[in-house]
């Protein structure tokens, strides 16, 4: 087609001749694109928001904890209570080489932490430094527990965000200051700002972490621990080694190795797998709905163009009589279709980007973006290309009909 101002003038003229119809037809495409882009951005944003809840948590991990036995074994009747001990850790380390991190947790609820006049009912956790590999802390000040803290049983602690805010209302770096837990004083060595909602034994912002060995002595716990968090080495699925883990622990406590209740292995892998498939499902749905709506819009354009061509039979016939080649007619109809889809589609993209930007701003706190709703530049370009293609497709059938109009038909139409 020749590049000529009048070519565009003609396109506009024909589309504007029936403003309401063009607008309503365009709205179908507009809405389709808006849905597709907004859903894509919104879906990605929601996914990120949800994932934030699990941030810092190892995905191939499991938690082992004790419950009453449910099977009689070695002369013990069922329903017996037992406790995990530090010995179980060593046994696991020796006998299950597929395990990477083995981190025990002992905890005590409702311990009063005091700093001057400020008090907080905290949840004290006894941990080993390795625990950071299961649930990574977000340290705002200071450091996490290290091996020397354990070896020397130093009276140090890492405090959670809410503990810090309550005990140190003036803010500032609390490291090196002492706080009292029950009757003993501990030096603060770090502040954990982790906000994830995936926690072991209580929310981490209300927790005070101290060395495990110290915990067991200070709170008279002996060798007992509450649970063991483990992660598998890369490439090993927790579910594959679960029976082996259970067997090793059960043997040390005279428990039936098939007693799944007594030695409970809570596999987070399953949880993450579930989430993953949930998100793939949501993604699929988004694409189905988005593309479906967009297609419906394009079919609407095609339909209206069909009607328009029918209406314009005489006009097209006149054009053919005075020298328009079929190609000219073809490109005119297809151009009209592309223009209509492109203009309405672009407005759809712009509107969706605007809405997504507003959502992103709504989820931004203190200048920190919590979740990215905005679609990427290339997604937008892709959507635009898709639109142009749809425009051509939508114009094909009507253009075909317009091409088949012979000048003579137009004369007869009158």
Partner 1 sequence: MIKLRNVHKTYAGAQPLHVLKGIDLDIAEGELVSIMGASGSGKSTLLNILGILDDYDEGEYHLAGTLIKNLSETRAAEYRNRMIGFIFQSFNLISFKTAVENVELPLFYQGVSRRKRHQMAMDELEKMGLTDWAAHYPNEMSGGQRQRVAIARALVTRPQIILADEPTGALDSKTGIEVMELLKRLNREEHITMIIVTHDPNVAAQTNRIIRIKDGVIE
Binding site for partner 1 (CB under 8 A): 2, 4-6, 13-14, 17, 314-315, 318-328, 406-408, 411, 414
* Distance of closest approach, residue 11 Cβ to partner 1, in angstroms: 13
Strands 263-267 and 61-66: antiparallel
Residues 6+ apart with CB under 8 A from 20: none
Q: In 3D, which of 406, 412, 404 has the Cα closest to residue 321?
A: 406
* Distance of closest approach, residue 356 Cβ to partner 1, in angstroms: 40
Nearer to partner 1, 117 or 414 (CB): 414
Nearer to partner 1, 233 or 412 (CB): 412
* Distance of closest approach, residue 308 Cβ to partner 1, in angstroms: 13
* Distance of closest approach, residue 37 Cβ to partner 1, in angstroms: 35
* Distance of closest approach, residue 15 Cβ to partner 1, in angstroms: 11
* Distance of closest approach, residue 390 Cβ to partner 1, in angstroms: 27
Nearer to partner 1, 246 or 319 (CB): 319
Nearer to partner 1, 17 or 119 (CB): 17
| 298 within 8 A of 390, measured Cβ to Cβ | yes
* Distance of closest approach, residue 327 Cβ to partner 1, in angstroms: 7
CA distance 335 to 7: 10
* Distance of closest approach, residue 344 Cβ to partner 1, in angstroms: 22
Nearer to partner 1, 44 or 304 (CB): 304
* Distance of closest approach, residue 407 Cβ to partner 1, in angstroms: 5
Nearer to partner 1, 108 or 319 (CB): 319
* Distance of closest approach, residue 28 Cβ to partner 1, in angstroms: 25
Nearer to partner 1, 67 or 404 (CB): 404
> Which residue's entry shows tokens 């890369």?
234
Nearer to partner 1, 14 or 231 (CB): 14
Nearer to partner 1, 130 or 315 (CB): 315
Task: Give the rounded distance of the alpha carbon of 314 from its chain centre.
Answer: 57
- Per-residue HEC secondary structure of the chain comes to CCCCHHHHHHHHHHHHHCHHHHHHHHHHHHHHHHHHHHHHHHHHHHHHHHHHCCCCECCCEEEEEECCCCCCECCECCCCCCCEEHHHHHHHHHHCCCEEEEEEEEEEEEEEEEECCEEEEEEEEEECHHHHHCECCCEEEECCCCHHHHHCCCCEEEEEHHHHHHHCCCCCCCCCCEEEECCEEEEEEEEECCCCCCCCCCCHHHEEEEEHHHHHHHCCCCCEECEEEEEECCCCCHHHHHHHHHHHHHHHCCCCCCCCCCEEEEEHHHHHHHHHHHHHHHHHHHHHHHHHHHHHHHHHHHHHHHHHHHHCHHHHHHHHHCCCCHHHHHHHHHHHHHHHHHHHHHHHHHHHHHHHHHHHHHCEECCEECCCCCCCHHHHHHHHHHHHHHHHHHHHHHHHHHHCCCHHHHHHHC
Nearer to partner 1, 364 or 404 (CB): 404
CA distance 211 to 284: 47
* Distance of closest approach, residue 394 Cβ to partner 1, in angstroms: 23
Nearer to partner 1, 179 or 340 (CB): 340
In the structure encoding, which two tokens stand for residue 294, read together? 């967009």
Provide the residue count of the chain: 414
């Amino acid at each position: 087609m020749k590049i000529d101002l009048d070519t565009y003038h003609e396109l506009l003229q024909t589309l504007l001749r029936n403003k309401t119809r063009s607008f309503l037809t365009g709205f179908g495409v507009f809405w389709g694109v808006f849905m597709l882009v907004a859903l894509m951005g919104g879906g990605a944003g929601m996914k990120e928001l949800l994932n934030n809840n699990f941030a810092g948590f190892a995905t191939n991990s499991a938690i082992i904890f004790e419950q009453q036995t449910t099977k009689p074994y070695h002369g013990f009747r069922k329903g017996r209570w037992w406790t995990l001990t530090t010995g179980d850790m060593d046994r696991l380390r020796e006998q299950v080489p597929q395990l990477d991190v083995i981190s025990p947790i002992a905890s005590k609820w409702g311990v009063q932490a005091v700093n001057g006049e400020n008090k907080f009912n905290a949840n004290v956790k006894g941990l080993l430094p390795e625990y950071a590999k299961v649930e990574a802390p977000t340290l705002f000040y200071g450091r996490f527990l290290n091996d020397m803290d354990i070896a020397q049983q130093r009276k140090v602690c890492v405090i959670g965000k809410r503990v810090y805010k309550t005990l140190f209302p003036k803010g500032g770096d609390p490291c090196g200051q002492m706080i009292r837990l029950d009757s003993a004083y501990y030096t603060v060595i770090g502040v954990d700002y982790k906000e994830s909602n995936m926690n072991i034994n209580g929310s981490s912002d209300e927790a005070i972490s101290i060395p495990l060995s110290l915990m067991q002595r200070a709170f008279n716990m002996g060798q007992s621990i509450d649970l063991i968090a483990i992660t598998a080495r890369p490439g090993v699925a927790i579910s594959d080694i679960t029976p082996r883990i259970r067997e090793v622990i059960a043997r040390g406590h005279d428990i039936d190795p098939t007693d799944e209740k007594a030695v409970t292995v809570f596999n987070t892998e399953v949880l993450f797998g579930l989430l993953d498939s949930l998100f793939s499902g949501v993604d699929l749905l988004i694409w189905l709905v988005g593309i479906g709506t967009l297609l419906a819009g394009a079919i609407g354009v095609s339909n209206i163009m069909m009607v328009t061509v029918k209406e314009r039979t005489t006009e097209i016939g006149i054009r053919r009589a005075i020298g328009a080649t079929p190609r000219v007619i073809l490109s005119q109809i297809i151009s009209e279709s592309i223009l209509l889809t492109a203009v309405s589609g672009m407005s759809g993209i712009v509107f969706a980007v605007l809405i997504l930007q507003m959502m992103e701003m709504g989820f931004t706190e203190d200048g920190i973006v919590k979740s990215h709703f905005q679609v990427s530049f290339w997604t937008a370009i892709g959507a635009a290309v898709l639109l142009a293609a749809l425009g051509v497709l939508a114009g094909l059938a009507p253009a075909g009909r317009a091409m088949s109009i012979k000048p003579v038909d137009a004369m007869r139409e009158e």
